[in-house]
Amino acid sequence: MLITDAVHIWRESDGEYHIEWQASHPDTKVTVEPLTEGGVVEAHYSEDTPARARATGFAMDSRHYFRLRDQHGTEVIAPERRFGLQGTPNFRDFGGYRTADGRQVKWGYLFRSGQLSNLSDRDLELLASLNLDLICDFRRLEEQEGEPSRLPEQRPRVASLPIIPGSNSRFFEEAEGREGADRQAMYDFMVEINRDFAEGQTETYASMFREILALEDTRFLVHCAAGKDRTGFAAALVLLALGVPREMVMQDYMMTARYFNPEGELERLRHKYQMEDMDTQAILPMLEVHENYLARALDSIGRNYKSVEAYLDVALGVGPPELDDLRARYLE
């Protein structure tokens, strides 16, 4: 039988769609039907990977839905999760997940990405089609000013919510004069940055929720520079507030490893933090995602509060009325 929570669709920058699924039995037969005219679903890649297909020929300036159905009648309707934007490869919809009570987060309302400064004209057309109401930018002010976002003519509201994650500059200052600036030191540093998100950045994340709740049925995007750390914790908070189980929240967080290429960002990061002489292996943990990063933040919440709901209420001002509002908006 088709496993409804294990369907994954993504789009490449050339417009080609990739569709993957999992089934509870190897004899499960799944058909893939596009719900938009003009494209075609091609055969599975090979007999060795029957749970995979691709689709081509669809318009590039909008998103498209597909119906997957097995021979028992189980079906899933879903669009692409990752958009394949040329200028920001980690742009994703983080809807579609099931909550603990069996509801589903709506597609087309919750988005996450890296910086928007390098969007192409085609990217802007697709971004405009999403009808965003709000963008929350977690980059530091110097990042926002040095690499301003490219946005559609009909600009959504942009909330500047800068986060200085654990003082990166302090780490590099300390590392510069010693030989101990190795991979483990950077990995440990990133773990502590994520703890700081939960403990030291509560006002910023509280502001994010206030911005979302201030508008009606807000379609919103949260982003930072790479779209993985500051943004990853923001997306985790939203999904947890909606009742998505921790394991699914972690799955969404780790999806960045699939779409974000650390090696491709090395030179930009070296220049940004003046790390030309630092060993590559010592830098990479800053560009990677690991379960322990987010787990450190969530474990901190668990140690300091009775529950995630208590943390949302006491630390972020998202109490029962706000949770009810969020769930009424974004669950179906």
Residue 183 binned pLDDT confidence (cut-offs 50, 70, 90) = confident
Instruction: Give me the phi and psi of 162, to 5 degrees please.
Output: -65, 135
Is the C-alpha dihedral spanning 226, 232, 233, 239 positive or negative? positive
* pLDDT score of 203: 97
What's the residue count for the chain? 332
- pTM (2 d.p.): 0.93
Alpha-carbon distance values, 272 to 16, 109, 225, 324 (Å)? 33, 32, 11, 42
Tokens of 98: 């099931």
DSSP string, 103-135: -BBPTTSEEEES--TT--HHHHHHHHHT---EE
Helices and strands in the chain: count of H runs, count of E runs: 13, 12
d(CA 112, CA 234): 9
Contact at 8 Å (CB) between 50 and 88?
no
Give, in degrees to the nearest 5, the angle at Cα 9 between 65 and 73: 65
Check residue 180 and give its pLDDT: 52
What domains can be seen in the chain, in order of their start residue? 1-80 (2.60.40), 85-330 (3.90.190.10)
- Listed in sequence order, the DSSP H helices in the chain are 121-129, 141-146, 168-176, 183-200, 202-214, 230-241, 246-254, 256-259, 262-272, 280-283, 291-304, 308-316, 320-330
**pLDDT at residue 278 greater than cutoff 60:** yes
Please report the pLDDT score of residue 178 as a whole number. Answer: 44
pLDDT at 66 over 90: yes
Residue 168 has pLDDT above 50, yes or no: no
Alpha carbons 158 and 247: distance in angstroms, whole number: 31
CA distance 89 to 262: 12
Strand order, beta sheet including 17-20: 8-11, 17-20, 52-56, 40-41
Confidence of residue 44 (pLDDT cuts 50, 70, 90): low
Which pLDDT score, from 0 to 100, does residue 282 have? 82
Instruction: Quote the pLDDT of residue 205.
Output: 98
Lowest-pLDDT range of 156-160, 166-170, 251-255: 166-170
- Gap between the Cα atoms of 83 and 64, Å rounded: 10
pLDDT tier, 238 (very low <50, low <70, confident <90, very high otherwise): very high
Q: How many CA atoms are closer than 13 Å to the CA of 42, on its beta-carbon side?
A: 10
Is pLDDT larger for residue 200 or for residue 49? 200
- Give the pLDDT confidence score for residue 186 in this predicted structure: 86
CA nearest neighbour of 221 among 311, 122, 137, 331: 137
CA distance 312 to 240: 9
Least confident residue range of 33-47, 122-136, 191-205, 221-235: 33-47
Query: Rounded CA gap, 242 and 244, in Å?
Result: 6
More confident residue, 244 or 43: 244
The predicted pLDDT at position 309 comes to 98
Whole-number pLDDT of residue 177: 45
- Is 58's pLDDT higher than 90? yes
More confident: 269 or 15: 15
* Mean of all residue pLDDT scores within the chain: 90
**Highest mean pLDDT pick, 133-137, 167-171, 269-273:** 133-137
Q: What does the pLDDT read at residue 281?
A: 86
What is the mean pLDDT of the segment spanning 131-144?
A: 96
pLDDT for 206 beyond 50: yes
